[in-house]
């Protein structure tokens, strides 16, 4: 980010310097606004906008806007969950490889489901889900734990205390479990798309090792119910 001097704003913002020079936080002046990527929001006619939206539009006319990150896209094919998953699969910054693995996984899921579809009898054909994105989202949802455990030290001893999880944490845990399961517990020579597609299909049907791990976590939390009052937040 350039030297902190925003153009044409209030005097106190013009000479803004952060108290601590951040290395990994955002170095933007707080006056910068987030970019709006959705096409639908620009196609609405003026009359339909509410008061807040009109004020927001007027603000955008004067304030500078942050640069859009390369992962943010207005395409119909982009999916934030898939992007997050790809980032988690990425090793040493090789986004090209991670993205190709992701697309091969989705292709593998589609092929397996299509084979099942063609072999199934007529009445069952409608129940088979062929859309790989739907399968991916449902599988992730099935893998998300509801309650988590955290280590709290009280009186010298550490207890595993059940705590509620935020949405982000749940999503992160589901994706992390899927990826570690595929990387560690499979045969060395199987390709990642093959392993991942198999795991996603199992998770979609509520079977498989990741769902088992989630149930184990839930059982541990249930078993440690007595320590729930150790939590103070």
Partner 1 sequence: QLDRGCALHTAARGGLSFVSTQDVPAERPRAVFHTSESDPAKHTEQHEGRLYNIPLEEVKAVFPHGLPYRFQQQIQTFNEARVMVRRPALELLAYLKGSNLAHPAVRYVIYGERGTGKTMTLCHVVHYCSRQGWLVLHIPDAHLWVKNCKELLQSSYNKDRLDQPLQASAWLKNFKTSNERFLREIKTQKKYMWGKRESTEEGRPLGEVVEQGLARVRSASDAVGVVLREVKQQSQRGSFRLLVAVDGVNALWGRTTLRKEDKSPVSPEELTLVHNLRKMLRNDW
Residues that bind partner 1 (CB under 8 A): 76, 111, 114-115, 118-119
Cα–Cα dist 116/21, whole Å: 57
Task: State the residue for tokens 């699969």.
Answer: 89
Q: For residues 192 and 217, which CB has a smaller minimum distance to partner 1 in the complex?
A: 192
Give 88's contacts (C-beta < 8 A, 6+ positions apart): 175, 176, 179
| In the complex, minimum distance from the CB of residue 112 to partner 1, in angstroms, rounded to a whole number | 9
Secondary structure class of 206 (helix, strand, coil): coil
Q: For residues 63 and 116, which CB has a smaller minimum distance to partner 1 in the complex?
A: 116
| In the complex, minimum distance from the CB of residue 226 to partner 1, in angstroms, rounded to a whole number | 53
Cα–Cα dist 178/84, whole Å: 13
Q: For residues 161 and 192, which CB has a smaller minimum distance to partner 1 in the complex?
A: 192
DSSP 161-202: EEEE--HHHHHHHHHHHHHHHHHHSS-TTS-HHHHHHHHHHH
| In the complex, minimum distance from the CB of residue 70 to partner 1, in angstroms, rounded to a whole number | 23
| In the complex, minimum distance from the CB of residue 110 to partner 1, in angstroms, rounded to a whole number | 8
Q: For residues 53 and 115, which CB has a smaller minimum distance to partner 1 in the complex?
A: 115
Q: Which pair of structure tokens corresponds to residue 199?
A: 């795991």
Q: For residues 29 and 113, which CB has a smaller minimum distance to partner 1 in the complex?
A: 113
| In the complex, minimum distance from the CB of residue 119 to partner 1, in angstroms, rounded to a whole number | 8
């Amino acid at each position: 980010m350039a030297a902190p001097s925003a153009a044409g704003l209030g005097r106190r913002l013009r000479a803004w310097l952060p108290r601590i020079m951040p290395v990994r936080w955002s170095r933007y002046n707080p006056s910068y606004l987030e970019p709006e990527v959705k096409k639908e929001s620009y196609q609405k006619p003026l009359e339909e906008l509410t008061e807040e939206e009109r004020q927001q539009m007027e603000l955008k006319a004067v304030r500078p806007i942050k640069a859009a990150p390369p992962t943010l896209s207005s395409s119909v094919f982009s999916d934030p969950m898939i992007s997050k998953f790809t980032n988690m699969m990425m090793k040493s910054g090789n986004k090209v490889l991670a993205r190709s693995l992701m697309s091969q996984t989705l292709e593998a899921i589609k092929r397996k489901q299509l084979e099942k579809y063609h072999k199934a009898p007529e009445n069952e054909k409608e129940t088979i889900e062929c859309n790989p994105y739907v399968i991916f989202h449902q599988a992730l949802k099935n893998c998300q734990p509801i309650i988590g455990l955290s280590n709290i030290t009280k009186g010298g001893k550490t207890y595993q205390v059940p705590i509620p999880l935020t949405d982000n944490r749940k999503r992160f845990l589901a994706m992390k479990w899927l990826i570690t399961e595929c990387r560690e517990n499979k045969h060395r020579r199987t390709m990642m798309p093959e392993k991942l597609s198999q795991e996603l299909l199992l998770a979609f049907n509520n079977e498989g090792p990741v769902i088992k791990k989630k149930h184990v976590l839930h059982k541990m939390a249930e078993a440690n119910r007595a320590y729930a009052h150790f939590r103070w937040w």
